[in-house]
């Protein structure tokens, strides 16, 4: 899906769209963040409930930094 979005943005707006961040909008937890951030064209995530738990949020940040 993110690849499709990236290609569509580039076709509509040109090479400038390569730098537009694409965020994952599903359920992100410390336990699945590394797998999500490993997906090509996923540049970040919309974090919901996990942001309320310091240990989960910290794990998500670590996963993004290591992606």
Read off the pLDDT of residues 5-35 as tens digits, 9 standing for 90 and up: 999 999 999 999 999 999 999 999 999 999 9
pLDDT of residue 12: 96
Confidence band for 46, pLDDT divided at 50, 70 and 90: very high
pLDDT of residue 56: 95
pLDDT of residue 34: 97
Whole-structure pTM value? 0.81
Cα gap 8→59, rounded to integer Å? 32
Phi, psi values for residue 40, rounded to 5°: -60, 140
Torsion angle in degrees (nearest 10) through CA of 52, 55, 57, 58: 150
């Amino acid at each position: 899906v993110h690849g499709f979005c990236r290609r569509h943005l580039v076709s509509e707006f040109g090479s400038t769209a390569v730098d537009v961040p694409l965020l994952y909008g599903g359920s992100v937890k410390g336990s699945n963040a590394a797998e999500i951030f490993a997906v090509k064209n996923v540049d970040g995530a919309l974090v919901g409930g996990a942001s309320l738990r310091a240990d989960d949020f910290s794990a998500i940040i670590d996963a993004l930094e290591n992606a």
